[in-house]
Amino acid sequence: MTEDVFDLACDLISCSSETPNDGGCQQLIAQRLTAAGFKVNHLPFGRVRNMWAQVGDGNPLVVFAGHTDVVPPGPLSQWTSPPYRPTVTGQYLYGRGAADMKSSLAAMVVATERFLLSHPDHAGSIGFLITSDEEGEAKDGTVRVIDYLTQQGTTIDMCVVGEPSSAKKVGDVVRVGRRGSLNGRIRFVGEQGHVAYPDQTCNPIHTAITALSQLVTRVWDSGNAYFPPTTFQISNMNAGTGAANVIPGELDILFNFRFNTEQSIEGLQATVEDHLLTNDPGIETVLDWQLSGQPFLTRKGKLLNAVQTAIRSVVSLEPDLSTSGGTSDGRFIAPTGAEVIELGPVNASIHKINECVRISELEPLAKIYQGILFQLLC
């Protein structure tokens, strides 16, 4: 039975699918799902490939969600084997996407095939929401599929996202939410000039230091029972001509908030704007914002109960419930009212050189997914 998951995982890893390319992954998945009785809809937007597949038309609608795109492999010379050639070394399967998240997709497909064979008269319906635009801009992927489903009058009740949530063993961590992500750009506008005549110019770097230090050292909140504290991080700074004797005319800052449910977007924006004005009302600044995602949280309910029961049954673990980590496409699904959790393989090697997954954990992951379907639809 293990070979079913392993073989499909290898087939998917073999597809070179650097974001936003799909590399043929969705076609492989669609063939398997069509054979299992699913109606498959391909939803391309530009270079992005999306797929919505559904079997059954009853409630609840339980969805497996994931992405076929991967991050760039990095220097090929540092890989012990080609990143798009699945390779077994010892107990591990190596290849780009092995952990994030082609093994999850393979396990989801196999779990669903087995479930449908064992329970052809199940209640409700099962869906697959797959995109090739998760690792990139995420503008033409899951968010566009959700728009399509809304137009079709299709409502997702519960969703399992196959992101690699586990820490040391498959099933030891389940993500029940994610912090929000808010990006900002500040342009401090000064006046370019010679460093020997600072009284005749305005150095935007010097002007920005106080305001930025206040934002960096500020305690935004203490978190809560579900989320860690909100963080503010500067990610990019750009100023200067490259010459040591020229005061720059502008300073560009990129920053990011990872925020919890104690904060609002409007509140964070207002605080930053107030800091800039309070520090020096004479500063000329240009401030732009981009929301990457609101925070979401799935509390104890049918989905989480089913997930915990399946994990206990298959791997005898009591999973930690976490909201840590970056963003995921769950941020586009949760606002529809769906219960959303993330469950997948160990994430220790994701986005790294020599990404890998432990082969012995492929079958347990499929059994957990199958158990979730059983708990919810039987």
Q: How far apart are CA 336 and CA 315, in angstroms?
A: 31
Say what the pTM is. 0.89
Both tokens assigned to 47: 């270079």
Dihedral in degrees, nearest 10, Cα atoms 138, 143, 148, 151: -150
Q: What 8-state DSSP symbol labels residue 124?
A: S
Q: Does residue 191 contact residue 338 with C-beta atoms inside 8 Å?
A: no
- pLDDT at position 320 is 96
Number of domains the chain is built from: 2
Predicted confidence at residue 327, as pLDDT, reads 85
Return the pLDDT at 43.
98
155 plus 165 within the same structural domain? yes
Domain stops at, among 247, 277, 293: 293
Question: Do 316 and 277 share a structural domain?
Answer: no
Q: Angle at Cα 98 formed by Cα 53 and Cα 165, nearest 5°?
A: 75
Q: Rounded to the nearest 5°, which phi and psi values hold at 164?
A: -70, 95
CATH number of domain containing 285? 3.30.70.360
Digits of tens for pLDDT over the chain (378 positions)?
A: 456 999 999 999 999 999 999 999 999 999 999 999 999 999 999 999 999 999 999 999 999 999 999 999 999 999 999 999 999 999 999 999 999 999 999 999 999 999 999 999 999 999 999 999 999 989 999 999 999 999 999 999 999 999 999 999 999 999 999 999 999 999 999 899 999 999 998 899 998 888 899 999 999 999 999 999 999 999 999 999 999 999 999 999 999 999 999 999 999 999 999 888 776 655 688 899 999 989 999 999 999 999 999 999 999 999 999 998 888 999 999 999 999 999 999 999 999 999 999 999 999 999 999 999 999 999
Looking at the structure, tell me whether residues 251 and 278 fall in a common domain. yes
Catalytic residue among 4, 133, 134, 339, which?
Answer: 134
Same domain, 13 and 80: yes
Burial 349-367 (b: 16+ CB within 10 A, else e): bbeeebbbbbbebbbbbbb
Q: Are residues 197 and 310 in the same domain?
A: no
Q: Is residue 28 located within the same domain as residue 118?
A: yes
Burial profile 173-204: b = 16 or more Cβ within 10 angstroms, e = fewer: bbbbbbbbbbebebbbebeebeeeeeeebbbb
The answer to whether residues 96 and 13 touch, using CB atoms and an 8 Å cutoff, is: yes
Q: Are residues 172 and 198 in the same domain?
A: no
What distance in Å separates the CA atoms of residue 169 and residue 173, rounded to the nearest whole number?
Answer: 8
**Residue 368: closest CA among 128, 111, 3:** 111
Same domain, 13 and 150: yes
Last residue of a domain, one of 293, 308, 326: 293
Are 29 and 169 found together in one domain? yes
Active site residue 137: no
Measured CA to CA, the distance from residue 195 to residue 30 in angstroms comes to: 63
What is the model's pLDDT at position 1? 47
Which residues span the domain enclosing 191?
180-293
Active-site option among 4, 69, 133, 342: 69
The question of whether 22 is a catalytic residue gets the answer: no
Adjacent-strand bridge partners of 258: 181, 231
Question: The tokens 């801009």 sit on which residue?
Answer: 137
Closest CA to 177 of 165, 195, 193, 190: 165
- pLDDT confidence of residue 275: 84
- 188/278 same-domain check: yes
- Structure tokens belonging to residue 271: 């605080």
Asked if 221 and 263 touch (Cβ cutoff 8 Å), the reply is yes
The set of long-range contacts for 324-328, using a CB threshold of 8 Å and a minimum separation of 24, is 324/175, 324/228, 325/175, 325/178, 326/178, 326/181, 327/178, 327/179, 327/181, 327/292, 327/293, 328/134, 328/161, 328/163, 328/175, 328/178
Are 184 and 35 members of one domain? Answer: no
Q: What is the CATH number of the domain that holds 50?
A: 3.40.630.10
pLDDT of residue 279: 67
Contact indicator for 22, 45 with CB cutoff of 8 Å: no
Asked if residue 305 and residue 162 are part of one domain, the reply reads: yes
The whole-angstrom separation of Cα 378 and Cα 372 is: 10
Choose the final residue of a domain: 272, 293, 314. 293
